[in-house]
């Protein structure tokens, strides 16, 4: 199974399906929830259908996919997501509907996914956040991720200049490994002393 279901004390993490289009719209249409994400908020059902096909259905066709709908036990409607890219970045991303913020849900969901990745032999994950979104960085720290460096990127499709902080968690004990791609790709990169 390419996306194993994960259960915690209060959550079920599973694949998104076409039955979740309304929930996907609720998550990805909120301007505040998506403020620090590269895509524009969804506006229509057609946008939602295309987003589902591009960001979820396509991934589920791969041999390994870690793209989870986050649901409360006893409520099958997704309230958020956790996603891990399968390319060499192993970029770890997450989002949650606003009414569920500040309840520890995302930290619990992310920790469960990280344990699944560890069981599956994934050697490391990375995650980035806009410096104007420090709360996302706090989630990364709670997950045990370590700040490695910062870099400036013109983010598409929003076409805005963003300074990102890159965090990493090595799952295989190689604690000195640092994913260098963003450092090498972007001319303006640096290490902040007080992160």
3-state secondary structure of 192: coil
**Residue 47: CB atoms within 10 Å:** 17
Asked whether the CA dihedral 178, 179, 185, 189 is positive or negative, the reply is negative
Q: Which of 2, 1, 4 is nearest to 116 (CA)?
A: 4
Task: Select from 140, 157, 146 the least CA-distant residue to 191.
Answer: 146
pTM: 0.93
What are 78-116's pLDDT values in tens digits? 999 999 999 999 999 999 999 999 999 999 999 999 999
Q: How many residues does the chain have?
A: 195
**Whether pLDDT at 20 is above 90:** yes
Q: Could you tell me what percent of the chain has a pLDDT over 90? A: 79
Is pLDDT above 80 for 38?
A: no
The topology under which CATH files domain 6-190 is Aminopeptidase (3.40.630)
Q: Which two tokens stand for residue 154?
A: 């013109």
């Amino acid at each position: 199974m390419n996306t194993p279901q994960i259960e915690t004390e209060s959550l079920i993490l599973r694949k998104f399906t076409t039955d979740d289009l309304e929930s996907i719209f609720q998550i990805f249409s909120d301007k505040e929830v998506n403020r620090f994400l590269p895509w524009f908020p969804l506006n229509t059902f057609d946008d939602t259908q295309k987003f589902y096909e591009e960001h979820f259905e396509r991934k589920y066709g791969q041999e390994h996919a870690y793209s989870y709908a986050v649901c409360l036990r006893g409520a099958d409607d997704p309230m958020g997501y956790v996603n891990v890219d399968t390319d060499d970045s192993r970029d770890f991303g997450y989002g949650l509907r606003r009414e569920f913020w500040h309840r520890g849900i995302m930290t619990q969901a992310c920790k469960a996914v990280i344990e699944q990745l560890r069981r599956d032999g994934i050697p490391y994950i990375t995650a980035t956040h806009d410096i104007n979104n420090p709360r996302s960085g706090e989630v990364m720290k709670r997950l045990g991720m370590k700040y490695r460096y910062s870099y400036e990127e013109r983010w598409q499709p929003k076409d805005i200049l963003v300074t990102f902080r890159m965090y990493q968690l090595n799952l295989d004990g190689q604690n000195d490994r640092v994913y260098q791609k963003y450092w090498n790709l972007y001319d303006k990169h640096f290490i902040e002393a007080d992160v």
